[in-house]
């Protein structure tokens, strides 16, 4: 490192010296930045869509520009038709012209006469009303009978009645949509003054990052934050310039940051803000301009490592590396600033009240935001914490909203009522809610429902969690695979009143190993196990307490606890990945997962994956569609092809 580079010791010392509360951080950032709409620019009407008006729009002309007829009929003098009716029609002589749209009338409508006029035709001199053609009949070739009386002004749209010359028709700050474009076009405006869009440079940082489309090397991670932030900037009125991912290298990063900041109004980075090797972004910011860092470390979860800075008047933000933390802090703290620069109104903050069916642990001292999915329970909305944590992209991306646990609380009690801030414009209740254990087969089964455009929500909370949700009536179906050790029966013994079993499919569980491993290849279960246990270098991967697979593992191993047993991931996929990546040599998983990774497989036993159906919900259309799909040949064949045995 050259002597300009921050030393490791300095990095450590400067980490989170003062962690600010969320409100303090926002207030200080606002004070240092004082965000307000950028300067204006002129945009032709054709490109004005989604822009923000920088000034009020006054109608330059009257719309319509002249009095015009609102119907097809005859321009008349109302006084001529006093007391006209079916019983005593009035005769009017026709003037010798027909007024179409775009035709300037010549003749004056004098007493006792009428001029034929089309919808939109300019009203002729002398006329003060229009009668509909339906209320007239030809009398002879030059006159008509009128069978209704008329009042002055009838069926006339007066000049300026839509928009009057000089009237303020659109206000500064309006987001231009197709309706606004229509108003502008109608009064002949070809160019509008709009707020210049903030140019936002987006940079990802991290040696491990690879762009989507490129091959993922071992230990590589696809850059999710770059594309997420780029899209979110555009969604909120900015013009994003995604500059790719920069490795954790002080010189390269500084050069990229300087260039990016020079060319834009705002710089958003992600990663490199938490404690850890290679975290240098915040060090570099101090050199970019003053006053520099405003907040580094915010008492917020997800999002503690957020870093807010202002460099010579421009905001520089370092979002946390974890995608959900990055997305959440971006929406919570950066979006309001960006929208103000773009001249946009604040986003609406819709809240709904919901019951939280589980106890949610929370870290003391940080305002914690819990991403939730909303379901319809028996007693109103239920908010399910998505539970995947801030490292998961899906936590934020699939959530309906979030709730807040105050810094001083260390948990939210089960069955609390909470205010959920929606991330979508309104509550989206799915047609079908499936909560419980996940299986690839479930995705296959749901395909026909999705094709029918039914909305389906699945939540993977494990068999027992699903069963509990079904008992509380918070879902339609709970997929379960629970073995009763006493009866050796699957699933049925676990049902209670109000639930019924819908048989699903069987999945073969077995020993997964790399196909070239002679300790397992071609062997029986017993032989494979004894060669694994005899070899001290043979490393297994276990499973979590409470899973059906764990019960199977313990039955196979009896009292043996080989090396790796306590490495206990929560899914078949994680077990297979550990073996494929040589972090372990064997484990127990289901056949289809082993097959997808090209692993060897020694079948041990068949597990039943069934559905606990909430009986009350059997009549729902989406439940019927589910049952039909399950019985269909299409789904059964697809399940078989994926390695499952439909019941």
Query: Quick check: 303 binds ligand AMP (CB under 6 A)?
Result: no
Query: Quick check: 302 binds ligand AMP (CB under 6 A)?
Result: no
Residue 221 or 573: the one with the smaller Cβ distance to ligand AMP is 221
In the list Mg ion, ligand AMP, none, the entry touching 363 (Cβ below 5 to 8 angstroms by class) is none
Query: Quick check: 305 binds Mg ion (CB under 5 A)?
Result: no
The residue range among 170-178, 222-230, 530-538, 566-574 that interacts with ligand AMP, by the rule CB under 6 A, is 222-230
Question: Nearest to ligand AMP by Cβ — which residue?
Answer: 321
Query: Quick check: 249 binds ligand AMP (CB under 6 A)?
Result: no
Smallest CA-to-CA distance from 115 within 159, 102, 126 is with: 126
Residue 22 or 296: the one with the smaller Cβ distance to Mg ion is 296
- Taking the complex as a whole, the smallest distance from the CB of residue 206 to ligand AMP amounts, in Å, to 5
- Taking the complex as a whole, the smallest distance from the CB of residue 11 to ligand AMP amounts, in Å, to 12
- Taking the complex as a whole, the smallest distance from the CB of residue 567 to ligand AMP amounts, in Å, to 19
Q: Which of 114, 127, 184, 224 binds ligand AMP (CB under 6 A)?
A: 224
Query: Quick check: 271 binds ligand AMP (CB under 6 A)?
Result: yes
The residue range among 267-275, 365-373, 562-570, 589-597 that interacts with ligand AMP, by the rule CB under 6 A, is 267-275
Query: Quick check: 321 binds ligand AMP (CB under 6 A)?
Result: yes
H-state helical runs in 398-439:
none
Burial 492-504 (b: 16+ CB within 10 A, else e): eebbeeebebbeb
Chain residues 49-78 in contact with Mg ion, contact rule CB under 5 A: none
Query: Quick check: 448 binds ligand AMP (CB under 6 A)?
Result: no
Q: Measured between alpha carbons, how far is 378 from 366 in angstroms, rounded to an integer?
A: 33
Q: Measured between alpha carbons, how far is 486 from 579 in angstroms, rounded to an integer?
A: 32
Handedness of CA 317, 321, 323, 325 (dihedral sign): negative
Residue 275 or 582: the one with the smaller Cβ distance to Mg ion is 275
Query: Quick check: 587 binds Mg ion (CB under 5 A)?
Result: no
Q: Measured between alpha carbons, how far is 343 from 561 in angstroms, rounded to an integer?
A: 63
Residue with token string 């990095």? 11
Residue 281 or 373: the one with the smaller Cβ distance to ligand AMP is 281
List of residues 6+ apart from 384 with CB closer than 8 A: 357, 358, 372, 373, 374, 375, 435, 459, 461, 469, 474
Give the DSSP H/E element, type plus range, for residue 314: strand 314-319
The residue range among 273-281, 465-473, 595-603, 605-613 that interacts with ligand AMP, by the rule CB under 6 A, is 273-281
In the list Mg ion, ligand AMP, none, the entry touching 569 (Cβ below 5 to 8 angstroms by class) is none
Chain residues 142-201 in contact with ligand AMP, contact rule CB under 6 A: none
In the list Mg ion, ligand AMP, none, the entry touching 116 (Cβ below 5 to 8 angstroms by class) is none
Residue 118 or 221: the one with the smaller Cβ distance to ligand AMP is 221
Q: Measured between alpha carbons, how far is 192 from 177 in angstroms, rounded to an integer?
A: 13
The residue range among 146-154, 171-179, 200-208, 234-242 that interacts with Mg ion, by the rule CB under 5 A, is 200-208
Query: Quick check: 323 binds ligand AMP (CB under 6 A)?
Result: yes
Do residues 233 and 240 lie in contact, with contact meaning Cβ atoms separated by under 8 Å?
yes
Do residues 475 and 433 lie in contact, with contact meaning Cβ atoms separated by under 8 Å?
yes
Do residues 414 and 469 lie in contact, with contact meaning Cβ atoms separated by under 8 Å?
no
Q: What is the largest CA-CA distance in the chain?
A: 116
Query: Quick check: 271 binds Mg ion (CB under 5 A)?
Result: yes
Residue with token string 């900015």? 238
Q: What is the 3-state secondary structure (H, E, C) of 59-88?
A: CCCCECCCCEECCCEEEECHHHHCCCCCCC
Query: Quick check: 206 binds Mg ion (CB under 5 A)?
Result: yes
Cα distances (angstroms) measured from residue 44 to each of 47, 188, 344: 6, 12, 19
- Taking the complex as a whole, the smallest distance from the CB of residue 520 to Mg ion amounts, in Å, to 37
In the list ligand AMP, Mg ion, none, the entry touching 468 (Cβ below 5 to 8 angstroms by class) is none
Query: Quick check: 392 binds ligand AMP (CB under 6 A)?
Result: no
Residue 208 or 606: the one with the smaller Cβ distance to ligand AMP is 208
Query: Quick check: 223 binds ligand AMP (CB under 6 A)?
Result: yes
Do residues 506 and 609 lie in contact, with contact meaning Cβ atoms separated by under 8 Å?
yes
* Strand 199-205, strand 239-246: pairing: parallel
Q: How many residues bind ligand AMP (CB under 6 A)?
A: 20
Query: Quick check: 276 binds ligand AMP (CB under 6 A)?
Result: yes
Cα distances (angstroms) measured from residue 463 to each of 297, 484, 492: 38, 13, 13
Q: Which of 225, 395, 463, 547 binds ligand AMP (CB under 6 A)?
A: 225
Q: Which of 272, 303, 466, 473 binds Mg ion (CB under 5 A)?
A: 272
Query: Quick check: 416 binds ligand AMP (CB under 6 A)?
Result: no
Query: Quick check: 274 binds ligand AMP (CB under 6 A)?
Result: yes
Counted residue by residue, the chain has a size of 647
Tally DSSP H helices, then E strands, for the chain: 17, 38
Grouping H, G, I as helix, E, B as strand and the rest as coil, residue 427 is coil
The residue range among 185-193, 268-276, 403-411, 456-464 that interacts with ligand AMP, by the rule CB under 6 A, is 268-276
Cα distances (angstroms) measured from residue 570 to each of 364, 391, 485, 584: 27, 16, 21, 15
The residue range among 216-224, 293-301, 377-385, 521-529 that interacts with ligand AMP, by the rule CB under 6 A, is 216-224
- Taking the complex as a whole, the smallest distance from the CB of residue 272 to ligand AMP amounts, in Å, to 4
Locate 244 and state its tokens.
Answer: 């790719």
138 C-beta neighbours (distance < 10 Å), count: 10
The residue range among 75-83, 205-213, 495-503, 554-562 that interacts with Mg ion, by the rule CB under 5 A, is 205-213
Phi and psi (nearest 5°) for 463?
A: -60, -50
Query: Quick check: 548 binds ligand AMP (CB under 6 A)?
Result: no
Q: Which of 89, 122, 226, 479 binds ligand AMP (CB under 6 A)?
A: 226
- Taking the complex as a whole, the smallest distance from the CB of residue 208 to ligand AMP amounts, in Å, to 5
In the list ligand AMP, Mg ion, none, the entry touching 323 (Cβ below 5 to 8 angstroms by class) is ligand AMP
Do residues 473 and 616 lie in contact, with contact meaning Cβ atoms separated by under 8 Å?
yes
H-state helical runs in 375-506:
393-397, 440-451, 462-471
Query: Quick check: 510 binds ligand AMP (CB under 6 A)?
Result: no
Q: How many residues bind Mg ion (CB under 5 A)?
A: 3
Percent helix, strand and coil across the chain, each rounded to 5?
25, 30, 45
Nearest-10 Cα torsion for 149, 152, 153, 155? 10
- Taking the complex as a whole, the smallest distance from the CB of residue 297 to ligand AMP amounts, in Å, to 13
Query: Quick check: 273 binds ligand AMP (CB under 6 A)?
Result: yes
- What are the residues binding ligand AMP (CB under 6 A)? 204, 206, 208-209, 221, 223-226, 270-274, 276, 279, 320-323
- What are the residues binding Mg ion (CB under 5 A)? 206, 271-272
């Amino acid at each position: 490192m050259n002597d300009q580079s921050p030393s490791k010791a300095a990095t450590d010392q400067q980490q989170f010296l003062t962690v600010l509360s969320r409100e303090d951080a926002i207030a200080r950032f606002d004070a240092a930045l004082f965000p307000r709409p950028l300067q204006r620019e002129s945009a032709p009407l054709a490109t004005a869509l989604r822009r923000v008006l920088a000034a009020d729009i006054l109608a330059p002309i009257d719309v319509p520009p002249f009095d015009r007829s609102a119907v097809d009929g005859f321009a008349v003098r109302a006084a001529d038709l006093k007391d006209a009716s079916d019983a005593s029609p009035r005769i009017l002589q026709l003037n010798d012209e027909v007024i179409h749209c775009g035709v300037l009338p010549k003749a004056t409508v004098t007493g006792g006469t009428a001029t034929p006029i089309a919808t939109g035709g300019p009203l002729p001199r002398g006329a003060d009303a229009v009668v509909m053609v339906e209320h007239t009949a030809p009398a002879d070739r030059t006159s008509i009978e009128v069978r209704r009386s008329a009042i002055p002004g009838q069926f006339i749209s007066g000049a300026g009645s839509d928009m009057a010359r000089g009237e303020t028709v659109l206000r500064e700050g309006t987001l231009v949509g197709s309706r606004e474009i229509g108003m502008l076009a109608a009064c002949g405006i070809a160019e509008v003054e709009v707020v210049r869009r903030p140019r936002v440079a987006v940079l990802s940082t991290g040696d491990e990052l690879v762009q989507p489309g490129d091959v993922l090397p071992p230990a590589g991670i696809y850059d999710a934050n770059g594309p997420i932030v780029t899209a979110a900037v555009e969604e909120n009125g900015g013009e994003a310039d995604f500059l790719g991912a920069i490795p954790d290298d002080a010189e390269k990063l500084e050069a990229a940051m300087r260039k990016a900041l020079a060319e834009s109004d705002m710089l958003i980075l992600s990663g490199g803000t938490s404690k850890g090797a290679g975290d240098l972004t915040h060090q570099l910011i101090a050199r970019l301009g003053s006053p520099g860092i405003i907040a580094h470390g915010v008492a917020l979860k997800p999002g503690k490592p957020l870093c807010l800075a202002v460099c010579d008047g421009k905001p520089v933000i370092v979002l946390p590396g974890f995608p959900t933390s990055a997305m959440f802090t971006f929406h919570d703290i950066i979006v309001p600033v960006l929208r103000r620069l773009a001249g946009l109104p604040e986003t609406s903050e819709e809240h709904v009240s919901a019951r939280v069916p589980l106890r949610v642990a929370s870290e003391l001292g940080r305002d914690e935001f819990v991403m939730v999915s909303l379901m319809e329970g028996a007693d109103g909305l239920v908010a399910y914490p998505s539970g995947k944590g801030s490292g998961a992209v899906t936590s934020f991306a699939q959530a309906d909203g979030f709730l807040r646990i105050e810094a001083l609380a260390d948990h939210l009690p089960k069955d609390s009522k909470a205010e959920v801030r929606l991330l979508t414009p309104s509550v989206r209740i799915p047609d079908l809610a499936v909560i419980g254990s996940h299986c690839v087969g479930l995705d296959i089964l749901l395909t026909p429902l999705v094709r029918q455009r039914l909305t389906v929500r699945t939540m993977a909370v494990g068999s027992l969690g699903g069963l509990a949700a079904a008992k509380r009536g918070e879902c339609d179906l709970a997929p379960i695979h629970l073995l009763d050790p006493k009866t050796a029966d699957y699933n049925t013994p676990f049902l209670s009143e109000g639930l019924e079993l819908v048989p699903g499919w069987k999945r073969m569980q077995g020993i997964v190993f790399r196909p070239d491993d002679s300790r397992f290849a071609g062997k029986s279960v017993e032989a494979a196990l004894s060669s694994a246990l005899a070899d001290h270098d043979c490393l297994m991967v276990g499973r979590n307490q409470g899973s059906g697979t764990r019960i199977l593992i313990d039955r196979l191993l009896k009292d043996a606890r080989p090396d790796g047993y306590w490495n206990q991931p929560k899914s078949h996929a994680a077990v297979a990945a550990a073996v494929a990546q040589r972090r372990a040599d064997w484990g127990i998983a289901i056949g289809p997962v082993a097959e997808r990774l090209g692993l060897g497989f020694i079948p041990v036993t068949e597990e039943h994956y069934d559905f606990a159906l909430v009986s009350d919900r059997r009549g729902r259309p989406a439940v019927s569609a589910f049952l039909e799909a399950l019985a269909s040949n299409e789904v059964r064949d697809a399940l078989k092809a994926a390695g499952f045995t439909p019941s």
